[in-house]
Amino acid sequence: MGTHRQPSMAATSPLRMKATPCPVELGHGHYWQLELMVRGERVRGTLFAPEREEPEPGLLVWVHGRTGREADPPIPSQPSALLELHWPLVGPRHDPKLSPLLTQCLTETTRSEALDALWQRFAHQAASEVGAVLTAVRSQKELRIGPLTELRLDLALAGRPPAHRAWGPQADAATDWPGRVLDFLQTMRSTDSA
C-alpha cells in the first residue's frame, strides 16, 4: 500500500492485569482482564493462557467487535494463549456519535475529507492499540507466553458484510503486526469506497 505514518505503539499507562475465574468454555487455564491507555483511549481485553509450563504457548490475537454469545473465540491452529481485543468504536466500544459515522465511511458513495480523516484516525488507533497491548503482554511477568503466532481480524459494521483476515503460524518474530492491522483497515476503505 502507499506510504503512511507508522502508528505509535506506546501505551500511556502501565498494563493492569486482573485474574478472574476462567470461563468454562475455554477449559483449564489462567484468565486475565487487561486494561491500559493508548493514545488517550482506554483499551480493555482478555487474556487466556492454557495450563502448561513447557513449552510456552504461542499467542493468538483476535481483534473483533462482537459482543455476548456471538463472540465465540476462534480455534487456534496450535495450542495457544488467546488475547481478545475489540476495535475502537465497534461493539462494546460503540460511541453513539462516532460509530454511525464510521459505518458511513464504508457505505458512502462519494468520498468526503471528514470521513477519510475519521477512518484514518480509527485505523491508526486500532493499529496502535494492537502494538501497545502486544508490547505490554510480552513485557509482563505474571504469565509465561511465547511469541505471537496468529493474528485474526474480524470487522463487521452495520449494513456491511463482515471482513475477515488472518495470518498464521508461518509468520516470524519480525512481522509488523500493527502494520498488518493498518493495511487491513486501509485496504478495506480503499476498495469499498473508491
What does the pLDDT profile of the chain (194 residues) look like in tens digits?
A: 344 455 555 667 789 999 888 776 666 778 889 999 999 889 999 998 887 666 677 888 999 987 655 556 676 666 688 899 999 999 889 999 999 999 888 888 778 899 999 999 999 999 999 999 998 988 888 778 888 888 999 998 776 778 889 887 665 666 788 999 999 998 888 755 44
- Say if residues 43 and 133 touch (Cβ distance below 8 Å): yes
Residue 104: closest CA among 118, 92, 124, 91: 118
- Say if residues 61 and 150 touch (Cβ distance below 8 Å): yes
Residue 153: predicted pLDDT: 93
Residue 185: predicted pLDDT: 92
Residue 144: predicted pLDDT: 80
Q: Which three cell numbers stand for residue 88?
A: 475502537
Residue 124: predicted pLDDT: 95
Q: Which three cell numbers stand for residue 85?
A: 481485543
Cα 78 to its chain centre, rounded Å, is 19
Residue 2: predicted pLDDT: 40
Between the alpha carbon of residue 90 and those of residues 29, 61, 191, the distances in Å are: 28, 17, 20
- Say if residues 71 and 92 touch (Cβ distance below 8 Å): no
- Say if residues 139 and 127 touch (Cβ distance below 8 Å): no
The CA distance from 20 to 142, in Å, is 13
pTM for the whole thing?
0.84
